[in-house]
């Protein structure tokens, strides 16, 4: 497989690094530099491809892993489990996608340490009976906490199996009380360029944003994780709050969420707006539909480097296939 490497922010020519106020439209700006089209795919590509074969986890990574707090361990929900072994925790915590920090998977854990996650306010807005803000600690007190083991399949054709701690997205929706006009749920990540150097890359439409239909959001699999492996999320996994939708490619599972917005019309999503030819809105795992730059027929399990066949809906067909008939 050809690996297409995205440049680091400091590798980009200075003329590409422009304060947000200085450009009218990102697309117009890139067009003026001749960076839209084929060239932009190579230069500022979306996901960069899996490179697990040469990957070795670093020793210092353990410093970024929180100790279990008093809530832990969460009640195990035995319905969501795996016949395969869990991915090694250190491997999962050192091979990450988090473009707010860097496009280099093995460096995210170091850069994400800069993010301040306390305090963390979440706003719930749009088509709701009453818009509100809630701190993450208060929200956790209201939610039914549990642990679920899920498979996670990145569009780059690598995968992992991890135990998430958190609560169903449905419980947050019940708490938010959307109106009958709500057809979609949009989620948005933080935007803090001084803490997240990758957000200085103006060719990406930061802050990261994702969306689900209400039927997808209410599906029993849709989960909001606040922890992993029996403790709070390390920052590189999206602390303090991230989405997990295991039947979809990993880019839908947005990290560092600060806003939930219920909408009547379908919102855009980060990758679909950036490169619609490569990343769809729905983005369900489907081994029969290749990504333009790589096959989706198989995946490599990180840590063990085993290549296995990819399953329709990542093996969650029984839970979600009815949503797409």
Residues that bind ligand MTE (CB under 6 A): 47, 96-100, 154, 189, 208, 237-238, 250-251, 253-256
| Cα gap 168→144, rounded to integer Å | 8
Closer CB to ligand MTE, 200 or 255, in the complex: 255
Instruction: Of 319, 322, 315, give the one whose Cα is nearest residue 159.
Output: 315
Closer CB to ligand MTE, 127 or 240, in the complex: 240
Listed in sequence order, the residues at least 6 apart from 263 whose beta carbon sits closer than 8 Å to its beta carbon are: 126, 127, 182, 183, 184, 185, 186, 211
Q: What does each C-alpha distance from 220 to 19, 34, 116, 166, 254 come to in angstroms? A: 42, 45, 31, 13, 18
In what side-by-side order are the strands of the sheet with 121-126? Answer: 132-135, 121-126, 257-263, 184-189, 209-213
CB of 99 to ligand MTE, least distance (A): 4
Closer CB to ligand MTE, 121 or 174, in the complex: 121
| Cα gap 255→234, rounded to integer Å | 11
CB of 313 to ligand MTE, least distance (A): 16
Closer CB to ligand MTE, 203 or 251, in the complex: 251
- As a 3-state breakdown, the chain gives helix, strand, coil percent values, each rounded to 5, of 25, 25, 50
Q: Which residue is nearest to ligand MTE (CB)?
A: 250
Closer CB to ligand MTE, 99 or 274, in the complex: 99
CB of 254 to ligand MTE, least distance (A): 5
CB of 115 to ligand MTE, least distance (A): 11
| Cα gap 174→312, rounded to integer Å | 29
Instruction: Of 169, 171, 201, give the one whose Cα is nearest residue 186.
Output: 169
Residue 124 · residue 176 · CB < 8 Å: yes
| Cα gap 137→48, rounded to integer Å | 35
| Cα gap 146→163, rounded to integer Å | 10
CB neighbours (10 Å) of residue 303?
A: 21
Closer CB to ligand MTE, 80 or 259, in the complex: 259
CB of 308 to ligand MTE, least distance (A): 17
CB of 190 to ligand MTE, least distance (A): 8
Closer CB to ligand MTE, 97 or 127, in the complex: 97
CB of 220 to ligand MTE, least distance (A): 21
Closer CB to ligand MTE, 126 or 303, in the complex: 303
CB of 290 to ligand MTE, least distance (A): 17
Would you list the DSSP string of 241-289?
-EEE-TTB-GGGS--SEEEEEEESSPPP-HHHHH-TTT--SS-B--TTS
CB of 180 to ligand MTE, least distance (A): 30
Closer CB to ligand MTE, 65 or 127, in the complex: 65
Cis before residue 240, ω within 30 degrees of 0?
Answer: yes
Q: What does each C-alpha distance from 140 to 24, 166, 228, 244 come to in angstroms? A: 40, 8, 15, 17
């Amino acid at each position: 497989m050809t690996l297409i490497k995205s440049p680091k922010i400091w590798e980009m020519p200075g003329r590409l690094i422009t304060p947000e106020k200085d450009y009218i439209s990102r697309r117009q700006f890139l067009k003026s530099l001749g960076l839209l089209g084929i060239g932009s795919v190579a230069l500022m590509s979306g996901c960069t491809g899996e490179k697990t074969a040469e990957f070795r986890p670093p020793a210092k990574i353990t410093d970024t892993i929180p100790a279990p707090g008093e809530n832990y361990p969460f009640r195990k929900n035995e319905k969501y489990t795996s016949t395969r072994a869990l991915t090694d925790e250190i491997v999962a915590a050192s091979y990450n996608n988090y473009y707010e920090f860097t496009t280099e998977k093995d460096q995210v854990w170091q850069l994400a340490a800069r993010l301040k996650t306390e305090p963390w306010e979440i706003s719930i807005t749009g088509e709701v009976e009453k818009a509100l803000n809630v701190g993450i600690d208060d929200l956790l007190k209201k939610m039914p906490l549990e642990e679920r083991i899920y498979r996670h399949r990145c569009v780059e054709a690598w995968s992992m199996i991890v135990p998430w701690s958190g609560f169903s997205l449905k419980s947050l929706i019940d708490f938010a009380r959307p109106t009958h006009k709500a057809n979609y749920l949009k989620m948005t990540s933080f935007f803090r360029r001084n803490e997240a150097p990758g957000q200085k890359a103006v060719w990406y439409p930061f802050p990261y944003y994702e969306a689900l239909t209400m039927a997808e959001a209410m599906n029993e699999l849709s989960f909001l994780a606040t922890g992993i492996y029996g403790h709070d999320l390390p920052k590189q996994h999206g602390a303090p709050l991230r989405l997990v939708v295991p039947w979809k490619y990993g880019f839908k599972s947005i990290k560092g969420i600060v806003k939930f917005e219920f909408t009547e019309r379908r919102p855009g999503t980060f990758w679909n707006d950036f490169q619609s030819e490569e990343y769809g809105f729905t983005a369900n795992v489907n081994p029969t539909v290749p990504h333009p730059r790589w096959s989706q027929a198989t995946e490599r399990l990180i840590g063990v480097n085993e290549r296995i066949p990819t399953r329709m809906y990542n093996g969650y067909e029984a839970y979600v296939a009815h949503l797409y008939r």
